[in-house]
């Protein structure tokens, strides 16, 4: 019995059948697969097809393993992709499951982990932001939230991107006047902030509104985010009329502005379907071996934005397979809505609905509408998918042309598929960080960006050569360990270094120490008068060169260097900001954020805490006698 636990989902108890490893025989293809039939029965499960070097080619699920594998064991009407996959198959592995639903979930989990060559693969799988009405304080805070839902409060979402959340929050502040400041800022205010002056907050921090009236505003905001906006507008309109009749014209004008803001929120949402309260509209467009999936998030009868995805597909893959793989992988780490409205039917809709229902704890319905409002929503999403893919293909063609230009300019063997650009950032050696950005045929590969906290204690402050050496040592030590055969697409085809001949020579020496001397590297120096546009390019064993001022390749390299500079500076600033808030209390065992705040509030500074006697430390709220002794010993050890 084998137990496989996946992050964020229930554990599956699976029966492991025979696990075959490649033999010395080079036999592959139909005959090799046919040999497995005698060991299989009609159980549901997951199978893996492996090549002669044990690399996973494909992960699939089956209601009946024997029947499914039998389809691969004889020549038939296979597509070109499946025929190639069969011809490369040297061995197979099987996991039988108790139910078909478990097989479906396990299949998607393994695909995301193993990234097989012949599976449809969702490459962009980020989390989405929500709006959080935080209930950790008597006066609730409204804010943007991304990540695990651990904080006490009500969550509304998902929204397609941070921009959609920010626009909605901006308008909600105008309507409901809820605070967005932190609890610490709230407690420290002695007079209203600017948001109160511009009528974006009701000023609860200084008593401008009672706790009861503020709670009513919070309740109205939650009603709106739950889709009950009509009642709120009617209430505000009635209050405006009452204020007008009472000749309270300033209050009436404020209520009028809130009604307008509320209307603006609803208008900004775009499509606001009456008959769809909670759904994700998912539409697929396939063209020339490429795919775009457009997802519209409908919550509370409002459109909360859309996002496009470009899964990796084969040239002959069919729409049902792509859409089923997308749905399975997309909701592997996300909470599904009550309805999924799809542009194409999927093969195992019943299993998928059952799996998602089990995850959500309530029924999830999968629909492929043919008429009505839902069909119009799908049609709009499909149109967006088609237009997005056209733009993507155009951008990809341009990128491919630029990569060919890079190859010609720097005498490379072919267009680079992975360019890595390195840069460092520090202030006189403090808070030093290194940054690596990556670009390829699809543009910037932000999931592959890496930051390096410079740890070398022997480095001289400001030693850029030493910092670069540390970054490259850590990068390529890991590469040599994780992908020594360079088969996973993790190795660069070109290194761009921000610097001149000295930097390039230093990098070359570092690479030679690891026995990696076949990767081309180019140093990008500012050139004459450090003028943007007069860059000089340095390469090992070759003379300095420059590109024409209007050469598209020059602009492309400048963009790469500027992106690396932006990323390194951003990382440095974040590290510096964290360091500014650091105190010696951070190193005291048992002192977390809450006790740290209590100590600073009681003594005024970390220095005062370090000088406090044991009696005073024990007097701090939340500090036990044992912890007080730990703090005292930490600061007085050796004295």
Query: What is the secondary structure of 344-404 as a DSSP string?
Result: S--TTHHHHHHHHHHHHTS--EEE---SHHHHHHHHHHHHHHHHHHHHHHHHHHHHHHHHH
- Whether the predicted pLDDT of 4 surpasses 70: no
Tell me which range, 11-20, 237-246, 591-600, 623-632, is most confidently predicted by mean pLDDT. 623-632
Q: Which helix (H) or strand (E) holds 435?
A: strand 430-440
Do 320 and 287 lie in one domain? The reply is yes
Of 222, 247, 268, which one is at a domain's C-terminal end? 268
CA dihedral 603, 605, 609, 612 (to 10 degrees): -60
At 229, the pLDDT band (50, 70, 90 cuts) reads low
Q: Is residue 544 part of a domain?
A: yes
Q: Find the mean pLDDT for residues 467-477.
A: 84
The CA distance from 205 to 139, in Å, is 9
Q: Is residue 167 part of a domain?
A: yes
CA distances, 183 to each of 143, 179, 188, 542, 573 (Å): 12, 10, 9, 60, 24
Do 179 and 317 lie in one domain? The reply is no
The single-letter DSSP state of residue 584 is: G
The structural domain count of the chain equals 5
Determine whether 172 is exposed, middle or buried from the number of CB atoms within 10 Å of its CB (0-12, 13-18, 19+). Answer: buried
The CA distance from 123 to 263, in Å, is 37
CB 183 within 8 A of CB 153: no
Q: Is residue 25 part of a domain?
A: no
The set of residues, in sequence order, having a beta carbon less than 8 Å from that of 286 and lying 6+ positions away, is 313, 317, 319, 322
At 274-327, the pLDDT tens digits run 788 889 999 999 988 889 999 998 887 778 888 889 998 877 788 999 999 999
- Whether the predicted pLDDT of 582 surpasses 80: no
Do 560 and 437 lie in one domain? The reply is yes
At 124, the pLDDT band (50, 70, 90 cuts) reads low
Determine whether 477 is exposed, middle or buried from the number of CB atoms within 10 Å of its CB (0-12, 13-18, 19+). Answer: exposed
**Domain coverage including residue 287:** 279-391
Q: Is residue 341 part of a domain?
A: yes
- Whether the predicted pLDDT of 72 surpasses 70: yes
Q: Is residue 401 part of a domain?
A: no
Do 438 and 568 lie in one domain? The reply is yes
Do 480 and 386 lie in one domain? The reply is no
The CA distance from 623 to 609, in Å, is 12
Q: Find the mean pLDDT for residues 449-474.
A: 76
CA dihedral 537, 541, 543, 547 (to 10 degrees): -30
At 484-510, the pLDDT tens digits run 888 778 899 999 988 888 888 888 888
Contacts made by residues 620-626, CB under 8 angstroms, sequence distance 24+: 622/594, 622/595, 622/598, 623/595, 623/598, 623/599
Do 103 and 177 lie in one domain? The reply is no
b/e map 58-68, b = 16+ CB within 10 Å: bbbbbbebeeb
- Whether the predicted pLDDT of 269 surpasses 70: no
Mean pLDDT of the residues in the chain: 82
For the chain, counts of helices (H) and of strands (E): 20, 21
**Which of 268 and 77 is assigned the larger pLDDT?**
77
| Secondary structure class of 576 (helix, strand, coil) | helix
Neighbours of 271 (CB within 10 A): 16
Do 440 and 538 lie in one domain? The reply is yes
At 368 the pLDDT is 94
- Whether the predicted pLDDT of 181 surpasses 70: yes
- Percent of the chain exceeding pLDDT 90 equals 21
Do 479 and 464 lie in one domain? The reply is yes
Closest to 546 (Cα-Cα) out of 529, 568, 524: 524
At 198 the pLDDT is 87
The set of residues, in sequence order, having a beta carbon less than 8 Å from that of 326 and lying 6+ positions away, is 120, 122, 282, 284, 293, 309, 311
Of 98, 119, 140, which one is at a domain's C-terminal end? 119
Instruction: Give the max Cα distance, the chain.
Output: 94
Do 431 and 563 lie in one domain? The reply is yes
Do 105 and 135 lie in one domain? The reply is no
Do 449 and 563 lie in one domain? The reply is yes
Q: Is residue 23 part of a domain?
A: no
Lowest mean pLDDT of 176-180, 271-275, 290-294, 628-632, name the range.
271-275
At 200 the pLDDT is 86
Q: Is residue 630 part of a domain?
A: yes
Q: Give backbone dihedrals phi and psi of 131, rounded to 5 degrees, phi first.
A: -100, 130
At 294 the pLDDT is 93
CATH number reported for the structural domain that contains residue 594 in this entry: 1.10.150.20
Of 55, 87, 119, which one is at a domain's C-terminal end? 119
Q: Find the mean pLDDT for residues 59-70.
A: 91
At 600 the pLDDT is 80
At 360-394, the pLDDT tens digits run 888 999 999 998 889 999 998 999 899 888 888 88
Do 143 and 45 lie in one domain? The reply is no
The verdict on pTM exceeding 0.75 is: no
At 567-578, the pLDDT tens digits run 888 877 776 666
């Amino acid at each position: 019995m084998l137990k496989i636990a996946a992050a964020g989902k229930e554990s599956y108890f699976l029966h492991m059948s025979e696990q075959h490893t490649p033999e010395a025989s080079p036999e592959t293809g139909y005959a090799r697969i046919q040999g497995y039939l005698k060991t299989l029965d009609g159980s549901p499960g997951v199978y893996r097809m492996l090549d002669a070097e044990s690399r996973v080619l494909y992960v699939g699920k089956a209601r009946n393993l024997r029947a499914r594998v039998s389809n691969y064991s004889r020549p038939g009407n296979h597509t070109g992709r499946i025929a190639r996959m069969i011809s490369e198959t040297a061995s197979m592995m099987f996991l039988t499951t108790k139910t078909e639903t478990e097989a479906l979930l396990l299949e998607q989990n393994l695909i995301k982990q193993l990234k097989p060559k012949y599976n449809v693969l969702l490459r962009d799988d980020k989390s989405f932001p929500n709006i959080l009405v935080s209930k950790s304080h008597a006066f609730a805070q409204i804010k943007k939230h991304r990540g695990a839902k651990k904080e006490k409060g009500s969550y509304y979402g998902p929204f397609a991107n941070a921009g959609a959340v920010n626009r909605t929050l901006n308008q909600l502040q105008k309507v409901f006047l809820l605070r967005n400041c932190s609890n610490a800022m709230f407690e420290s205010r002695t007079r209203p902030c600017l948001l109160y002056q511009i009528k974006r907050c009701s000023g609860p921090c200084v008593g401008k509104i009672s706790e009861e009236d503020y709670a009513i505003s919070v309740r109205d905001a939650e009603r709106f985010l739950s889709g009950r906006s009509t009642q709120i507008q009617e209430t505000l309109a009635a209050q405006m009329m009452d204020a007008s009749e009472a000749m309270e014209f300033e209050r009436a004008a404020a209520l009028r502005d809130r009604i307008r803001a509320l209307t603006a929120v609803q208008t900004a949402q775009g499509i606001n379907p009456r008959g769809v309260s909670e759904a994700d509209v998912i539409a697929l467009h396939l063209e020339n071996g490429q795919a775009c999936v457009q997802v519209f998030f409908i919550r509370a009868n409002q459109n909360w934005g859309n996002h496009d995805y470009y899964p990796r597909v084969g040239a002959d893959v069919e729409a049902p397979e792509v859409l089923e793989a997308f749905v399975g992988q997309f909701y592997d780490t996300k909470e599904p809505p009550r309805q999924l409205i799809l542009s194409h039917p999927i093969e195992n809709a019943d299993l998928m609905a059952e799996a998602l229902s089990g995850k959500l704890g309530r029924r999830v319905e999968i629909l492929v509408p043919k008429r009505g409002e839902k069909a119009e929503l799908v049609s709009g999403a499909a149109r967006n998918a088609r237009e997005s893919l056209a733009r993507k293909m155009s951008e990809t063609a341009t990128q491919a042309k630029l990569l060919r230009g890079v190859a010609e300019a720097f005498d490379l063997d072919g267009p680079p598929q992975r360019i890595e650009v390195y840069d460092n950032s520090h202030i006189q050696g403090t808070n030093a960080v290194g940054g690596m950005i990556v670009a390829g045929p699809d543009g910037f590969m932000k999931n592959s960006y890496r930051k390096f906290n410079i740890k070398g204690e022997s480095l001289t402050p400001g030693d850029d050569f030493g910092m670069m050496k540390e970054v490259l040592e850590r990068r390529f030590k890991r590469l040599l360990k994780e992908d020594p055969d360079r088969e996973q697409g993790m190795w660069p085809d070109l290194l761009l270094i921000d610097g001149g001949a000295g930097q390039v020579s230093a990098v070359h020496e570092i690479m030679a120490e690891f026995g990696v001397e076949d990767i081309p590297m180019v140093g990008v120096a500012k050139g004459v008068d450090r003028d943007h546009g007069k860059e000089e390019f340095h390469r090992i064993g070759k003379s300095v060169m420059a590109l024409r001022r209007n050469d598209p390749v020059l602009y492309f390299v400048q963009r790469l260097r500027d992106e690396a500079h932006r990323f390194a500076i951003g990382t440095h600033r974040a590290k510096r900001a964290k360091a500014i808030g650091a105190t010696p209390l951070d190193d005291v065992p048992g002192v977390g954020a809450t006790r740290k705040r209590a100590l600073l509030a009681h003594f005024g500074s970390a220095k005062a805490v370090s000088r406090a006697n044991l009696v005073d430390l024990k007097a701090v709220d939340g500090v036990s006698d044992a912890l007080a002794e730990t703090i005292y010993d930490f600061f007085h050890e050796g004295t």
